[in-house]
Amino acid sequence: MEFLVEFNMTVPPGIPDAEVRDKEQAEAAAAAELVRRGHLVRLWKPSAAPGEVRIVGLYRADSEEQLDGFLGDLPLNSWMEITVTPLQRHPNDPVRMWTLPPGLPSPQIIAVYRLEAQLGDPVELGETAAGHRRIVPLSGGEFIGPQISGSLIPGTSADWQTVLVDVRYVLQTDSGANLYVESHGIRHGSAEVLARISRGEDVDASEYTFRTSTQITTASGELDWLNKGVFVSVAGRQPGGVIYETYLLA
């Protein structure tokens, strides 16, 4: 079942700023866990009067009672007035305008990690049978996600660029598990935009397309779910670095 949930938050007078920040950080962590479990689908922030905090969310739960349990556990629950509206499918819903075979679930994406990596000096191989080849080392970086976080291992990680993207890197979680990641996809945009990226300028990721399909393998029994997952990544270049946001297709 899907539910539209409206939140109106008011911070009680006299609450120290530090306590507000702590609760907001705990709320963000709770929201990330609901996203990972497939219960929080989207959040919006409508226009509000000065000093008013309004949030609208789309949630999925087996029942309204289960949803009430999720909302009751939110760290900011005592400061929020919450309105829940159960939703039903509309026959003209664009998603339903074309039909899937009976019994197939609608896919969802679940955030796995965000990697911010630094880049070393590129090695230009020039024109090869596969196209213009350039190898860009990933010299370091950190990643963070709802369940895993850690650092990129330099010396084992690089983007083996042609027109197609071929990124291979090794991550090490905070618990010491190694993850081998292969991302294959494409980065394209106008010649002017790609030239600005090559010059090291700060180009907004909305000006070009950088998408990959991603495979993650690990020997960690605790993280064996990564070996069985299908992942996609959205990426963006920054001066001296690159960001990969990786999602599980569930």
pLDDT at site 107: 76
Q: Identify whether residues 146 and 191 lie together within a single domain.
A: yes
Q: Identify whether residues 82 and 187 lie together within a single domain.
A: no
Q: Identify whether residues 134 and 229 lie together within a single domain.
A: yes
* Beta-ladder partners of 144: 114, 149
Name the helix (H) or strand (E) containing 19: helix 17-36
Q: Identify whether residues 124 and 230 lie together within a single domain.
A: yes
Q: Per-residue pLDDT tens for 104-159?
A: 667 788 899 999 999 887 776 666 555 556 677 888 999 999 889 999 998 878 77
- Residues recorded for the chain: 250
Q: What are phi and psi of 10, to 5 degrees?
A: -130, 120
CATH code (residue 26): 3.30.70.1060
Amino acid (one-letter) located at 21: R
Q: Identify whether residues 114 and 235 lie together within a single domain.
A: yes
Q: How many domains does the chain have?
A: 2
The dihedral through the CA atoms of 145, 151, 157, 163 has a sign that is positive
Provide the pLDDT confidence category of residue 225 given band limits of 50, 70 and 90: very high
- DSSP character string of 96-132: HHS-PPTTPPPP-EEEEEEEEEEE---EEEEEETTEE
Q: Identify whether residues 49 and 159 lie together within a single domain.
A: no
Task: Indicate the residue among 55, 87, 119 that finishes a domain.
Answer: 87
Residue 154 contacts residue 164 (beta carbons within 8 Å): no
Is position 95 within any domain? no
pLDDT at site 96: 58
Q: Identify whether residues 179 and 82 lie together within a single domain.
A: no
Q: Identify whether residues 77 and 126 lie together within a single domain.
A: no
Q: Per-residue pLDDT tens for 48-82?
A: 777 778 999 999 988 999 999 999 999 999 999 99
pLDDT over 70 at 45, yes or no: yes
What's the CA gap between 137 and 152, in Å, rounded? 12
What's the CA gap between 133 and 199, in Å, rounded? 17
Is position 130 within any domain? yes
pLDDT greater at residue 247 or residue 165: 247
What's the CA gap between 57 and 46, in Å, rounded? 11
Comparing 15-24, 65-74, 89-98, 230-239, which segment has the lowest mean pLDDT? 89-98
CATH code (residue 193): 2.40.160.20
Is position 200 within any domain? yes
pLDDT at site 89: 79
pLDDT at site 236: 87
The whole domain housing 223 covers: 109-249
Is position 92 within any domain? no
